[in-house]
Structure 1
Amino acid sequence: MLWYHIVILALIQGLTEFLPISSSAHLILPSQLLGWPDQGLAFDVAVHVGTLVAVVSYFWKDLWKIAQGWLSGIVHRRVDQTSKLGWCIILGTIPAGLCGVLFENFIETHFRTIEVIAYTTIGFGVLLWVSDKFAPTQKGEAQLGYLSGFLIGCAQAIALIPGTSRSGVTMTAARAMGFDRQTAARFSFLLSVPLITAAGGLKLIELIGSNIAVDWNALVWGVLISAISAYLCIYFFLKWLNSMGFLPFLFYRLVLGAILLVIVYSGS
């Protein structure tokens, strides 16, 4: 990859991993629309590490409390808010993990197309706005229970389809169940930690078992740029979410989806 490929792709991963606009879709588009070379497995590992560093750095106090509460709950056989949140994250991770193992190859083969990305970008963007606009806002993090955590996790599994957006679909599910915007966003980000860890770990194992030459310079820059951009993205998204809502992301997804459909059908 050329230097600007590295910068742009790392920025795309960092900015889109946590915004409700789909990072997988945006990482597919440069190679399909601009003819860029595929970024390769090693670079995928690097930018996953970068976004993981960002979300863990931002929520490290929360994650530490949740881990302590969860372990204490097991040892002392009691349930409090932090231990319950830990179980919600675990329950919410299971559906996406199972679907990834069972259907990843099928999805990679059949769904990584511009046409699919266009329709999922538009469709799930509309669902996000509808759930935010019309669902009652009556629940905070204290009302997050095992069932709601699992159902949000089931929604997360749908994000294996490019263009859906993992953060977008989990926030959609949370808002549809009546959770406020901050709770929906925070749980979505916390829920990303085990999933990004697992995805990055599997890619790393695959990389170690291959004979792919590694461009360490590209990897270091990929980690740094994706980590910094993702951290800033989380900070400003949570800061501005209550005032701006999800409408700007709906507009963005509608425009992007329309452009992609024009490209698809003008070339057919």
Structure 2
Amino acid sequence: MNLLHVLILAIVQGAAELLPVSSSAHVILAEKLMGLDPTAPAMTMLLVMLHTGTMFAVIVHFWKSWQRAYFSSRQVFLRTCGYVVLATTLTGGIGLFLQAIIKHTIMGNAPGFEIENLFGNPRLIASALAAAGILIIFSSRLRQTDQRDISWRSAAWIGAVQGLCLPFRGFTRSGATISTGMVLGVARTKAEEFSFALAVALTPAVIVREAYRLYKAEAGHSTQLLASLGPNLLGMVLSFGAGLLALRWLSSWLEHGRWHLFGAYCLIFAGVVLAVG
């Protein structure tokens, strides 16, 4: 993997991670087109850095709106923390349950199976993309008359749907969670703020998991990994910048009634994944 590969993946990951178009599908396709091995230790290290960059982009973009929405009083803050804990707990529980079901029923309890083994399956990715696209388009067509805030019920549903995104790459996390909130009558901006609050809560766990995979695969590669530290830091900065631009784009389209266009893109890209895969 050379510097050009790092730059391309940083931009693709940084933008697609935060747009409702599935970063996994885009990164996996980009890796295939560039002939890269997504299981290589160098690739795992790069993903750790890129996830870190996009997490900071989310914090910078939403900090002021979160201060207004979630830090206005101690009571509001504690209630919001409860919503986040509930949603994240359901996400982890459902994600792990689905992973166990897939391992024991579909994969025949294969030894050494990890959910990453499914990420190269183009049919599965395309199906998840198409499902996300339909959900986004459906949610965009609903009239929002109440403009509700997040509640315990909506937080639970959003967290549960987010759990589906863990094993099924292509089922875009931001698209699925924001759309679920909108279907439940939550105001678009409130659904967006809560969706990315969940992302900040979830991303450190993803980073730790990827770092652990890197630690297990690191034997014999430490010199190469140290040599790639500089390009990976540059990749993190680029993913941060691409993430900020992507969030501004997402917010603009969400507020101006163009949310359905992301759904249309997911449907089109599902066809591209099938054709290339």
State how far apart, in whole Å, the 1-side matches of 2:10 and 2:35 are.
17
User: Measured at CA, do residues 218 and 100 of structure 1 come closer, stay the same or move farther in structure 2, by a change above 3 Å?
Assistant: farther
- Residue 95, structure 1, aligned to residue 101, structure 2: no
Corresponding residue for 2:163? 157
- Residue 114, structure 1, aligned to residue 122, structure 2: yes
- Within 5 Å, give how 1:117-266 maps onto structure 2: 117-134=125-142, 136-141=144-149, 144-160=150-166, 161-209=168-216, 210-211=218-219, 212-213=221-222, 214=225, 215-264=228-277
Deviation at 1:184, TM superposition (A): 1.6
Corresponding residue for 2:56? 53
State how far apart, in whole Å, the 1-side matches of 2:160 and 2:143 are.
19
Structure 2 residue identity aligned to 1:5: H
State how far apart, in whole Å, the 1-side matches of 2:85 and 2:62 are.
17
Corresponding residue for 1:77? none
Deviation at 1:248, TM superposition (A): 1.6
Secondary structure of residue in 2 paired with 1:36: coil
Aligned residues: 254
Tell me, which stretches of 5 or more residues in structure 2 are unaligned?
A: 101-112
Deviation at 1:191, TM superposition (A): 1.1
8 Å contact kept, 2:70–2:80: no
8 Å contact kept, 2:135–2:179: yes
Corresponding residue for 1:4? 4
TM score, norm. by length of structure 1? 0.85
Structure 2 residue identity aligned to 1:230: G
Q: Identity of counterpart residues, as a percentage?
A: 28
Instruction: Please tell me the root mean square deviation across aligned C-alpha atoms, in Å.
Output: 2.4
TM score, norm. by length of structure 2? 0.82
8 Å contact kept, 1:137–1:179: no
Deviation at 1:92, TM superposition (A): 1.1
Structure 1 residue identity aligned to 2:242: S
- Within 5 Å, give how 1:66-81 maps onto structure 2: 72=74, 80-81=75-76
8 Å contact kept, 1:65–1:82: no
User: Measured at CA, do residues 158 and 137 of structure 1 come closer, stay the same or move farther in structure 2, by a change above 3 Å?
Assistant: farther
Deviation at 1:84, TM superposition (A): 1.5
Secondary structure of residue in 1 paired with 2:5: helix
8 Å contact kept, 2:66–2:193: no
